[in-house]
Structure 1
Amino acid sequence: MTTASTTSTPTSTPSASVAPLLSIAGLVRRFGGLTAVNGLSLSLADGELVSVIGPNGAGKTTLFNLITGLDTPDVGSVAFAGQDVTGFAAERLAGLGLARTFQHGRVFGNLSVLDNVLVGAHTRLRAVRPPLGLPLLGPLAELGLALLPPAAVRAEEERLRAEATEIIALFGDRLTPRLDKPAHSLSYANRRRVEIARALALKPRLLLLDEPTAGMNPTETAEMLEIIRGLKGRGLTILLIEHKLDLVMQLSDRVVVMDHGARIAEGLPSAVATDPAVIEAYLGHKAVGAANQDDAAAVVPTKRGIGE
């Protein structure tokens, strides 16, 4: 789409001849009398980076939770790679290639940076998996593999450690010198980096990033922008929530704007930035947008916060 839209009808994919990797239709999630997500539809094509923005309380993180199996919609559906995955548990979705980070970073504080990242590769383990259909012997088999790992297990572990180290290297001196340090000793920004690295260890088909630059200064934000740009350049499909609109405008193929759980606009970054409905959502005054869209759009990042 080349212009912003204030409708809430289902979006079309960038290419009508290609099925979307992710397609959500009519999602509704209510918490008592509050409707956090209200009839939202959205699609992503392979290799696309779409940003979801909106004021605090717009329903963005709730949307991520519905997509990734941490919550279940009251109405609507989620399809991933052509399969209806509505209501699938998070671990099942991870096995299909869907990975995410969280608005408030989550790491295993007592594990090293390397081990945190290795956790992300758990769905790719093959050699250490006990035979299926042995619910009672399974734990014993796992214990035996841990105590006396055969050559196949050792080779798999070595391969995954090499991959994890390579992923950590994407973040340069921020993480590599701290490879063996416990995550609790890291700065907040570095814990965010570890969380992203862990998601990448899954080798996802779709990566959902929830405010990846939260707590980062301008230099660190610029570094993260280049990392995300590099991931996009490799063809990774990314759904991004971010409150730093300059980053959103530089990275996004499309921008979706939410307010009060609904989609109020969607389109190219340049079109969305000057859409009167978007300006009103952030500033709260329709007249401001009508009077001077460009000036108001420039003020958007400094007014109402962009959070959940």
Structure 2
Amino acid sequence: MMADQHAPMLSLRGLTRRFGGLTAVDAIDLDLGKGELISIIGPNGAGKTTLFNLVTGLDRPDDGAVRFEGQDITGLSPERLAAEGIARTFQLGRVFGNLSVMDNVLIGAHTRLRAVKPAMAVIGPLLELGLALLRPAGVRAEEERLREEVKAILARFGERLLPRIDQPAYSLSYANRRRVEIARALALKPRLLLLDEPTAGMNPTETAEMQALVAELKAEGLTILLIEHKLEMVMRLSDRVIVMDEGRKIAEGPGEEVRTDPKVIEAYLGHGLSGTTEQESAA
């Protein structure tokens, strides 16, 4: 199905998730255009990460719909959505500790493998395993190409990761594990990237580096949905800002306009709306 070129890349309508008597996400509407960066902010517990989980298939909504490039993707598995070009990172970084930096990032490219993915629904997985084990010339050539792509992705982080390319992820600093997770998402070559607090736990220098990377990805035309507590970064990067509180969207618009909205100020009382160093906690 061809998507309407004027339609939003991502569209949420009435998205709702309840946990017992708690409505964690309450009838959220959102339109994200191609190449746009929208930030979602709000006090801790506002429902931001739950919203990400609904978009990326880690959880299913009780009501509402998620559409990606005009196609209803509500409730599809994370694997299916990755194959469609949707990648995400997590609030608490997830890496494979015993795998090297290279192998962690290669996992992100798995959905793009062609030489080891025969298009046969029934016996395809067995053939895929056989090809991966035997590694014929076509498989080796594709692996080498992907390894070069991974090196190019890691180079975007300066000298943070390339010198550690063969080290196991468990040996990395917290900030470098976050970088590996983002590199893995980029290895998917996503059309839509969801970043959940990418600078959580980072110092000011590390935060500035991450902000520069996100700005670079945006300038290259990548569509990004961002959750971030560091408000100065949000204001600098975002085309629009959406504010959530208690599962509801309470404001949406340009950053400076949202920042002075009385409802937003009230929601953030005691949470440091104008601060830039809020500590990471559950969303």
Partner SS for 1:281? helix
Partner SS for 2:274? helix
Q: Aligned equivalents of 1:143 and 1:28: distance in 2?
A: 39
Equivalence for 1:72: 60
Q: Aligned equivalents of 1:154 and 1:160: distance in 2?
A: 10
Could you tell me which runs of 5 or more consecutive residues in structure 2 were left unpaired when the two chains were aligned. none
Equivalence for 2:103: 115
Pair 1:200 & 2:176 matched: no
**Structure 2 contact 230–278 (Cα < 8 Å) conserved:** no
Q: Aligned equivalents of 1:221 and 1:173: distance in 2?
A: 15
Equivalence for 1:28: 16
- Cα-to-partner distance string for 1:26-63 (whole Å, 9 max, x where unaligned): 01100001000001100100000000000010000000
Q: Aligned equivalents of 1:88 and 1:297: distance in 2?
A: 35
Q: Aligned equivalents of 2:114 and 2:229: distance in 1?
A: 39
Match of 1:82 among 23, 48, 70: 70
Match of 1:134 among 99, 118, 122: 122
Q: Aligned equivalents of 2:170 and 2:279: distance in 1?
A: 31
Pair 1:124 & 2:100 matched: no
Give the ranges of 4+ consecutive aligned residues of structure 1 lying more than 4 Å apart after TM superposition: 301-307
Q: Aligned equivalents of 1:163 and 1:17: distance in 2?
A: 29
Pair 1:100 & 2:76 matched: no
Distance 1:302 1:282, change over 3 A: farther
Alignment of 1:1-308 (within 5 A): 18-135=6-123, 138-139=125-126, 141-283=127-269, 298=274, 307-308=282-283
Identity of aligned residues (%): 69
Offset, 1:131: 4.6
Offset, 1:223: 0.4
Partner SS for 1:174? coil
Amino acid at match of 1:24: L
Q: Aligned equivalents of 1:49 and 1:223: distance in 2?
A: 18
Instruction: Output the aligned Cα RMSD.
Output: 1.9
TM-score, length-scaled by structure 2? 0.94
Is the radius of gyration larger for structure 1 or structure 2? 1
Equivalence for 1:289: none
Partner SS for 2:131? helix
**Structure 2 contact 200–280 (Cα < 8 Å) conserved:** no
Distance 1:306 1:270, change over 3 A: farther
Instruction: Out of 141-150 and 47-56, give the one that drifted further.
Output: 141-150
Partner SS for 2:60? coil
Amino acid at match of 1:125: L
Could you tell me which runs of 5 or more consecutive residues in structure 1 were left unpaired when the two chains were aligned. 1-15, 286-295
